[in-house]
Amino acid sequence: MSFSRKVVCPYCGAVNRIPGDRLDDNPRCGKCSKDIFASRPVDLTSANFHSHIANSEIPVLVDFWAEWCGPCKVMAPAFEKAAVALEPNVRLAKLNTENEQQIAAQFDIRSIPTMILFKDGKEIARQSGAMMGGQIEQWVNSQLG
């Protein structure tokens, strides 16, 4: 028997409980019927940040970035690729630090891009600076053991 996992819908924000052995079966949200995993990062804002971090029982990797940041733009395709590779075991998300300065300050973001890996609502690892290719996946996997 597999343990179920709570996962937040990237579209409507509903918390869905999904059997662990069904995460790979393209689960759909019980509220809005959209795919729970879209193989792309979720956009986080002050309205949904806490819910995704606190209510998700799979790890969440957040890329803190800004539109004006050159290294952030260079890393964006690698982060998108990592979403395809790491879902459904890890949710990838992006938070624009210019739009959400209060959250960036709460997590003491001093340089961007900075990635923070959350598990069970708590920060477990942090990496500043752009990563390319499979480096993001390798870093996440090394942190999760």
Give the per-residue pLDDT at 2: 62
pLDDT tens by residue, 65-111: 999 999 999 999 999 999 999 999 999 999 999 999 999 999 999 99
The arrangement of secondary structure in 38-144, i.e. its CATH architecture, is 3-Layer(aba) Sandwich (3.40)
> For residue 73, which phi and psi values (nearest 5 degrees)?
-65, -40
> 38 near 92, Cβ under 8 Å?
no
Looking at residue 20, what is its pLDDT? 86
- Name the catalytic one among 9, 12, 29, 72: 72
SS3 86: helix
- DSSP string of 34-62? -BS--SSPEEE-TTTHHHHHHH-SS-EEE
Residue 81 has a pLDDT of 96
- pLDDT tens figures, 105-117: 999 999 999 999 9
d(CA 2, CA 18): 10
| Candidate list 9, 12, 32, 69, residue with the active-site label | 69
Confidence of residue 1 (pLDDT cuts 50, 70, 90): very low
Active site residue 72: yes
Give residue-wise pLDDT tens across range 11-45.
Answer: 999 999 999 889 999 999 999 999 999 899 999 99
